[in-house]
Structure 1
Amino acid sequence: MVAKLSTKVLNICIASICKSKQLGKAENVLIDGIRLGVLPDIVTYNTLIDAYCRFVSFDAGYAVLYRMNEAGINPDVISYNSLISAAARKCLLSKSLNLFDEMLQRGIHPDVWSYNILMNCLFKLGKPDEANRIFMDIVLGEYSPSPATYNVMINGLCKNGYVNNALALFRNLQRHGFIPQILTYNALINGLCKSRRMGAARKILKEFGELGYEPNAITYTTVMKCCFQCGKFEEGLEILHEMRSKGFTFDGFAYCTVIAALIKTGRIQEANEIIEQMQSNGIEPDLVSYNTLINLYCRQGKLDDALKLLDEIEKEGLECDKYTHTIIIHGLCMAGNFVGAQQHLNYMNTLGFGFNLVAVNCMLDGLGKAGHMDHAMKLFEAMEVKDSFTYTILVHNLCRAGRFLSASKILVSCLKCGFKILRATQRAVIDGLISIGYTNEVRKLKSKIRIARVLH
């Protein structure tokens, strides 16, 4: 009885230390326990397998199996589930399958969690058909699917673009008495929102409430974000008010979703009010929050305030990403400070970000809109990497400047490279050439556009 109790205490200590990622100390506790005559059991080693897989590497976790063999302890299904899960997190499908085979060879029978983990891995790798076969093996076999099994299936189908199949499975399960969890509804609502099926998402959300469930902040934020992405800003704000009325506490992500949507629609005053609410509620900004605030200040022309936030980000121990610097460069261009934008672009290079095409495109657009077309042309010619946005920006701004022949040449070179330019921009070039009487150029350009469409 004392030995069992001592081993239990040993396991509690090791689990607690492993959670704090101090695996060296956990090993010392294990050694001290053995010296005192307290022998580890299967729970001890399973705890170490899980910790090494999570905080060191899959190989380090797998190495614990050898130590178990030396100690005369046979691994169980939990040991292998931890290893299969670790391999799945790294999308190492071959290792997951090998571990499955190894488990069977040892005479260890997989449980429903083993299959759930494998299904999740297959969905992550974009293999929904194989995941579905495993699901059918569970349903038709001796195992009883758990709610987690259905959640994995519905979430995986949604993320792989099979939203109709996920919805059909969901309805079929309901007819057979399955009671969905909040995770099930969230997965389905998220999938419907990503496929821009706003009506269906709102219907599921309504059904969710009618069944007596209480949607959580994630559910509401998902639907709200979808409303904003679909341009239904009033509906999105209605969701926001509903969240408030139900007393949900906003996190930084929800606040940023609302602020970004308001900025895009030019509702700067309302965006400022939301920022004040976020600050008054004591929400600690993350990098996404800071990027949203910097974007707001740049759009308001408050570049000094935006640059101050860069210092604040460093003080908080966060690291600016490419998007942060791109927002600053775009703000400087909007303010007509192209020297400052170029300097900041050079500063990005010193930080090791490399070539930032989005930021350079911002500069190109800013120069064009400010009427500095010669400068814009020089920048374009110096760019080693270009995309369809690069060409579209330059062609559009050349048309605005009335330089239709130059726009035509850039358009043709774009089509030769296999890039696409918006038809509205192509139309602007053609109409511009017609307006200055270059009908032969129009005929040649139309012919080249037709050929490009055939080739690409």
Structure 2
Amino acid sequence: MTPQCFLKTLKTAKQTYTFLIYKLLLNSSSINQTLASPETPLSDLNLSTLRRILSDPDIKSWKCISLFNFILENPSLFSFQPDLRTHLSLTFRVLSERRFSYAKELLKPVAIDDILRYPFNVIVSSVIDECGCEKKVVGRFFNSMIMVYSDNGKFSEVVEVFEYMKNNEVKIDEKTCTLHLLNLKRCDQMELARDFFSLMVESGIDVVTVYSLTVVVTVLCCNGEITRARELVEEMGLVKGVKANIVTFKSMIGCCVKRWDFEELDLVLKLMEKESVMLDLDSYKVLIDGFTSYGKVEEAERLVLMMHDKKLRVESYLYNLIMNGYSRFGLVEKVIELYSEMSSRGVTPNKDTYWVLMNGLCKAGKVCEAMSFLNELRVNEFEIDEEMYSTLSEECYRVGMIDKSLEVVAEMIRDGFIPGATICERLADSLFEVNRKEAQMLITIVVKCGIKPKSCSQYGLK
């Protein structure tokens, strides 16, 4: 055979193998099974052939990705490994189809992997050399690079990509910037988040939105920089025309309330009014909780009335917070007044409502009224817990209502609770004094609790 014939035969053989791989990929529904088959001529696949396959529009992109991943996962089966150019070629293909999650997975090895990773400037050079894509696809590529770096904690590289995009007029997606800020917040990189937002603002590019503003405001609030957060909201409204929304303001409200910084809270609420942002249901709840915990109970009550006026749903626990606040100050009349208002406004009291009422009345020495609410609890089929029973029995004893205290203890036992040794001993002492037989029963309970009361020796019991 002449050398020319030999070369022609060899060329034909290679074309046959290449065509066979092409045909298998084209017709297969399961790429991994196809590639694992002994009939697949993998040894004849080379880098040049791979590039042609990956760029072939007749082969679905998902099949190309499966082939590509198979090669990466089985390096021993091949005499080559995909290079940077091959990675980028397939990445641009899937980005042109808006398959962003695939693109990010393809970029991870060349951007993050300890062995395969390339510096960003090398990746940029390859993009410039190889890219014949539309401008919007190039934008998608660099935005994907930002997310790959950000998702994997390569925050300095994010800034490098951002600067490159800004300097070369590549469109930066505002959503990409917001997601990066969220990653920084999740990683507790508060300073980096502030710095990156400043970079966004100073870039002169229209990438600052209410979403990115809200993230940075939250970051500042987490650091206790409430005043800076409020000033930033004002600045962005004036300079960038970016108006804060209720979510932005809720971060500041929550921070002010937690820190009991009511002076700053007033300024935040005034800014809300100026920006025509209305309080929502959650904001009212946070404010009421904050006011009552600090002791600004009247302010909290005023907010509940505003909620009713605005037809917002007022839950019973909000009334409970205010009633408990008044109870702490001994203003039991206000507690009763609010309970009546609840009923008139159609807000159904819950078990905690009754507990606040009964506890407040007991502290004020109005034990009879507290006992009447115990009966109301039963009527409404609420479960009476051990703490309620203990409080009522002790308060009844304190005001000299021995029989009522004994009645509560008996009911407590019927419901499966063990009364406190102290109240049992006190009741026993009182009952022994008047020679009541219930005294023996109470002493027995105390002894079963492992406590030897003074009544035992005092009255000759062992």
Q: TM-score, normalised by structure 2?
A: 0.43
State TM-score, norm by structure 1.
Answer: 0.43
Bigger radius of gyration among the two = 2
